[in-house]
A = this chain, B = another copy of it.
Amino acid sequence: MENPVKTTEERILEAAKRVFHAKGYDGARMQEIADEAGVNKSLVHYYYRNKDNIFQAVFEDAFAQLIAALNEIFISERTFPSKIETFISYYVTFLSKNPYLPLFILNGLYEKPEQIKTMFEKIHLSPDHLMQQIHLQVKEELNLDIDPFHIFINILALSIFPVVARPLIQTIFGFSNEQIGQFYEERKTVVPEFILNALKGYEKR
């Protein structure tokens, strides 16, 4: 840590993250962000002009965090099974530390889907390139008889959904925080195993 002392602007942004992540755009209050940052409400407007602006900053940050790892791992030089394992393990850990993030993102996307593409350019990330990589590996490395796109979506679904649905799982089945932690821990091995087992069924002989 070079500069542990946060600037006011950073403190406001972090406060905004906490508030927006937990309450969403409509539920968040500028006053609450200010309180959370320990500053006057006008100061929030001073640095970010209006609610839309600061929300966008928060959203882009969250989106970048979620997407960056995905891209990095799937573009790397590993074998496909290794990528899946690395990805799931990383995502489950990351998401259970930031449980609000995925739902926050999904909600944001319903409201302003247009901005996604420009956001991808900002992060220097190409969906086509990513899919092309996955396609290559599924078709040429493993020679599987299945649409790579469905595999990709399945990987995301199995990693993300259980985190998003945490309150559902926890209340319905009465899991304690420890138990749900244990459950997520298990998924790091269960999910890659599940996916690789499934892929075996698609092997062309």
**Docked-complex contact B201 and A197, CB < 8 angstroms:** yes
Question: How many A residues are at the interface, by size bracket?
Answer: 35 or more
Task: Tell whether A173 is near chain B: CB-to-CB under 8 Å.
Answer: yes
Task: Tell whether A23 is near chain B: CB-to-CB under 8 Å.
Answer: yes
CA distance A106 to B158 in the complex (A): 16
Q: Which residues of B contact A117 (CB under 8 A)?
A: 171-172
**Docked-complex contact B173 and A127, CB < 8 angstroms:** yes
Q: Which residues of B contact A200 (CB under 8 A)?
A: 197, 200-201
CA distance A168 to B103 in the complex (A): 12
Which of B100, B131, B147, B168 contacts A109, CB < 8 Å? Answer: B168
Task: Tell whether A81 is near chain B: CB-to-CB under 8 Å.
Answer: no
Residue-by-residue, is A106-140 near B (CB-CB < 8 Å gives 1, otherwise 0)?
Answer: 11011001101100100000010001000000000
Report the minimum CB–CB distance from A151 to chain B (whole Å).
Answer: 8
Residues 168-205 of A at the B interface (beta carbon under 8 Å): 168-173, 183, 186-187, 190-191, 193-202
Q: Which residues of B contact A196 (CB under 8 A)?
A: 201
Task: Tell whether A26 is near chain B: CB-to-CB under 8 Å.
Answer: yes
Q: Which residues of B contact A202 (CB under 8 A)?
A: 197
- Nearest B residue to A103 by beta-carbon distance? B106
Which of B156, B169, B186, B190 contacts A165, CB < 8 Å? Answer: B156
Q: A116-B172, A168-B116, A200-B201 are known contacts. Are A194 and B154 too (CB-CB below 8 A)?
A: yes
Report the minimum CB–CB distance from A128 to chain B (whole Å).
Answer: 8
- Nearest B residue to A183 by beta-carbon distance? B149
**Docked-complex contact B171 and A116, CB < 8 angstroms:** yes
**Docked-complex contact B201 and A150, CB < 8 angstroms:** no
Q: A147-B190, A187-B150 are known contacts. Are A161 and B157 too (CB-CB below 8 A)?
A: yes
Q: A103-B107, A149-B173, A157-B157 are in contact. List 9 more A-B contacts (CB 8 A).
A: A106-B165, A109-B171, A116-B168, A116-B172, A154-B158, A156-B165, A161-B161, A161-B164, A197-B197
